[in-house]
Chain A
Amino acid sequence: MANDVILKVQNLDKSFGGLHAVDNVTFEVPQGLIKAVIGPNGAGKTTLFNIIAGTFAPDSGLVTLKNKKLTGLKPFQVAELGVFRTFQNLKLSSHMSVLDNVLLGRHVVGTAGFISGMLSLKKSRKEESDAREKVFEILEWLNITEIMKQEVGNLSFGKQRSVELARLLAADPEVLLLDEPAAGLNMHETDELAGLIVKIRDQGRTVLLVEHDMSLVMDISDEIVVLNFGQKIADGTAASVQNDREVIKIYLGGEDD
């Protein structure tokens, strides 16, 4: 597999007070593959995600998307470049309908502004109907068409996860950052999710995944990077990481030497 590298993380460093959350981490994400970031609780996975997505600025180091610098950008600017994330605890507009939430994902694709919206100019209407067409497709694909009129706040956790994923897909993302997408899902739902993520990859998109569910990670990941106490301790294919001594040690516990 000689895929081009799409996302590059170089010597990333971030401390919170005395806690070194991300410690000189470097890795690459090849285009069109699923790469998982795993590690015990507190390993710095979510911090890493927040830095890539622009929520935090790193103390030092660089994140680039196809040689464009992401570090220093705000979250909305990172999104404008095609990198979109989900959140561990779901962040949806709970007072808005499912349809409106997913349509929000289409925001970056459009350009119609306030004036165009207020006057309902042709451009605005065209964009809106194109957006709806695309969103209906995605809702259909994720099997949530029948709940599209419901307010998101009234849905089950599993359904809300689907809505968040639908919103992400509506943005036509190049890179998806999924922060524990299986958290709170039952086994059946997790299986469905695994199939979905693979399909998303097969559309040519790149997925970077933080996940605790090891069977999910091992099933679908093309590559895995392992963090422990902020440091990278392994990086490679699922098989190679599975047989890595260090990794086995932190997950299963090993003799102290």
Chain B
Amino acid sequence: MKLKKYYPIVLLAGVLVLIQLLTLITGTAYYLTQLTMAAYYVVVALGLSMVMGYAGQISLGQAGFFAIGGYTTAVLTTFDLTDKISRPFFAFLDKIGLLVHKVTLYGDSIVHLSPWISFILALVLAGVVAYSIGVPVLRLKGHYLGMATMGFGIIIYRIVLGTHIFGEADGISNVPAFPILPGITIGGDFSIRIINYYTAWFFVILAMVLLLNLINSRTGRALRSLHGGEDAADAMGVNTAQYKVKVFVIGAVFAAAAGVFITHYNGGIGPSESSVAKSVRYVAIVAVGGMANLWGVLIMGLFLNFLSLRGLFGVYDDAVFGIILVIIMMFFPDGLFQPASLNRIKRILRGK
């Protein structure tokens, strides 16, 4: 009985193995790169689905949190500490194994912070930022909240674009791989492509399990009740302000985690990752997926990101997601993968 709820997850895992085998058989293993990246973008969308679909709080600044994750780890793991290593603090870090010594392509030896440290710092930073802006901003509703979060996204974008240590328009490159466990390294090397594919999708599955558990729990129900029924939730003893901030922090931490992983996978990050167009893209994916429908968001997130990353939309990439969002908002405001919307499509197809 208890295990029954995990059947869809097992099915997903089966499909993922099938996809990998298909790429192997058809000699299209290069698809795995886009499938891996799509997985990380799905994690961002799943977090946003909690904030927007379930709790009903729009965020147009999710790319900002993604960038906070990506840039934090990029800066901390590319900053050469060779001349600082004699200082007591860094010497201590070195002693407990939190610094990485290596030799670059050009034969220089460098020392940098372990990605594990930067990963944790990135999540903490994203959480703290989300909390600090969430407390004042989440008092707003509807499009005012949308505009405020979009403002946050724009600020992050301009900061990374104008700051030297963030590489300005070039972004940051030469970010090292992230060895998360012995034998499992997040990085772009071809030899570890398959393991990276499975690692990325492991994180998607982890996110799914955590969020599916959450929505069926006491806290999850309270979150769902915020959507359109805030007065009722309040009267039943739900601390609505606190719940909104908490779900916003969860969404931000998911985005930041994805940002960290993808930055190590790609070996770098650029300012476009924090652009408003990217935030709109996440919103579009959540909307097509059915807003409060984690499975819909997962499937559409995988599908659309994969096509986008394969370059199918060409120079109209951002425009495609914008159009998707407009169409969904106009015709299916509850999201596409919802019973009401699906019935409507059926009616249209029947010509009524």
Binding site for B on A (CB under 8 A): 53, 55, 74-76, 79-80, 84-85, 87, 91-96, 100-101, 103-108, 110, 112-114, 116-120, 124, 127-128, 131, 167, 171
Q: What count of chain B residues pass the 8 Å CB interface test? A: 29
- Known contacts: A76-B238, A117-B213. The answer to whether A91 contacts B218 by CB under 8 A is no
Residue from B211, B224, B239, B250 in contact with A76 in the complex, judged by beta carbons closer than 8 Å: B239
Interface residues of B in 277-330 (CB under 8 A from A): 292
- Check B225 against A96 for contact (C-beta < 8 Å): yes
Q: Is A85 touching B227 in the complex (CB atoms < 8 A)?
A: no
With A91-B232, A119-B210 known as contacts, the answer to whether A107 contacts B218 (CB < 8 A) is: yes
B240–A76 touching, CB < 8 Å: yes
B225: nearest chain-A partner, CB-CB: A93
The CA of A247 and the CA of B217, in the complex, are separated in Å by 50
**How many Å lie between the Cα of A180 and that of B330 in the bound state?**
38
| Chain B, interface SS category | helix
User: Cα distance A96–B225 when bound, in Å?
Assistant: 8
A93-B228, A108-B236, A171-B236 known; A103 and B221 CB under 8 Å?
yes
B214 touches A117 (CB 8 A): yes
The listed residue (A74, A75, A95, A124) touching B218 by CB distance below 8 A is: A124
Give chain A nearest CB distance to B80 CB in angstroms: 37
Q: List 29 A-B contacts (CB under 8 A).
A: A76-B233, A76-B240, A79-B237, A84-B235, A85-B235, A87-B235, A91-B235, A92-B229, A92-B232, A93-B227, A93-B233, A95-B292, A101-B225, A104-B222, A104-B232, A107-B218, A107-B221, A107-B237, A112-B218, A113-B219, A116-B217, A117-B213, A117-B218, A118-B210, A118-B211, A124-B213, A127-B218, A167-B236, A171-B236
Interface hits, B250-271 → A, CB 8 Å: 250
The answer for the CA separation of A100 and B246 in the assembled complex, in Å, is 21
Which of A110, A114, A124 touches B246 (beta carbons < 8 Å)? Answer: A114
Q: Which residues of B pack against A, CB within 8 Å?
A: 210-211, 213-214, 216-222, 224-225, 227-229, 231-240, 246, 250, 292
Asked, given contacts A93-B228, A96-B225, A120-B213, whether A106 binds B234 with beta carbons under 8 Å apart, the answer is: no
Contacts of B221 in A (CB 8 A): 96, 100, 103-104, 107
Contact (Cβ within 8 A) B236 A94: no
Considering the complex, give the chain A residue whose CB is closest to the CB of B232: A91
Contact A79 B235 (CB under 8 A): yes
Known contacts A87-B231, A93-B229; is A114 also within 8 Å of B219 by CB?
A: yes
A190: min CB distance to chain B, Å: 23
B213 near A119: Cβ-Cβ < 8 Å: yes
How far, in angstroms, from A73 to B236 measured CA to CA in the complex? Answer: 14
**A57 CB, min distance to chain B CBs, angstroms:** 15
Additional pairs, 16, CB under 8 Å, beyond known A79-B237, A95-B224, A124-B213: A76-B235, A79-B234, A79-B235, A80-B237, A87-B232, A92-B229, A96-B221, A100-B221, A106-B218, A107-B222, A108-B236, A117-B218, A118-B210, A120-B217, A131-B218, A171-B237
Q: How far is the CA of A184 from the CA of B236 in the complex (A)?
A: 23
Q: Chain A residues near B227 (CB, 8 Å)?
A: 93, 95
Chain B residues with Cβ under 8 A from A105's Cβ? Answer: 236
B246 CB contacts on chain A under 8 angstroms: 114
Q: Given A93-B224, A119-B213, are A110 and B218 also a contact pair (CB < 8 Å)?
A: yes
Residues of B within 8 Å of A79, CB to CB, are 234-237
Chain B CB within 10 Å, residue with most, of A114, A124, A128, A131: A114
Provided the pairs A112-B217, A114-B250 are in contact, do residues A94 and B235 lie with their beta carbons within 8 angstroms? Answer: no
